[in-house]
Structure 1
Amino acid sequence: MSDLTYPEAGATRTGPLPAGYQHLHHRDAIGHGRADLEAAGAAITGFRMHRESGARIEASTSRAEVEASVRVSLGVGPLRFTAPCRVIWTVYGPERIGFGYGTLSGHPECGEESFVAELADDGTVSFTVTAFSRPAGWYARLAGPLVPVLQEQYARRLGRTLRRIVARERGLREAPGR
Structure 2
Amino acid sequence: MARLIRDLATPANPAAPAPLNYREVGATGQDRLPAGYHHLHHTVRIGHGRDAFETAGAAVTTWRMHRSSGARVRGEATRAEPGAYVEVSLGVGPVRFTAPCEVIWTAYEKDRTGFAYGTRTGHPECGEESFVVDLHPDGSVWFTVTAFSRPAAWYTRLAGPLVPVLQHAYARRLGRTLQRVVAG
TM-score, length basis structure 1: 0.93
Write out per-residue CA displacement over residues 93-150 of structure 1, whole angstroms, 9 at most, x where no aligned residue: 0110000000000000000000000001111000000000000000100110000000
Letter in 2 for 1:104: R
Partners of 2:104 and 2:54 lie apart in 1 by 21
Corresponding residue of 1:94: 110
Partners of 1:6 and 1:32 lie apart in 2 by 37
Instruction: Report deviation, 1:78.
Output: 2.6
1:1-178 to 2 correspondences below 5 Å: 1-2=9-10, 3-168=19-184
Structure 1 consecutive aligned stretches of length 4 or more whose deviation exceeds 6 Å: none
Give RMSD over aligned pairs. 0.6
Identity of aligned residues (%): 67
Instruction: Report deviation, 1:77.
Output: 1.9
Letter in 2 for 1:87: V
Partners of 2:22 and 2:98 lie apart in 1 by 18
Partner of 1:80: helix, strand, or coil?
A: strand
Partner of 1:75: helix, strand, or coil?
A: strand
Letter in 1 for 2:137: D
* Structure 1 gap segments, 5+ residues each: 169-178
Partners of 2:30 and 2:149 lie apart in 1 by 16
The total of aligned residue pairs comes to: 168
Partners of 1:89 and 1:14 lie apart in 2 by 11
TM-score, length basis structure 2: 0.90
Instruction: Report deviation, 1:15.
Output: 2.7
Partner of 2:29: helix, strand, or coil?
A: helix
Instruction: Report deviation, 1:34.
Output: 1.0
Partners of 2:75 and 2:81 lie apart in 1 by 10
Letter in 1 for 2:73: I
Instruction: Report deviation, 1:4.
Output: 1.2
Instruction: Report deviation, 1:12.
Output: 0.5
Write out per-residue CA displacement over residues 3-55 of structure 1, whole angstroms, 9 at most, x where no aligned residue: 21111111111231000000000000001011111000000000000000000
* Structure 2 gap segments, 5+ residues each: 1-8, 11-18
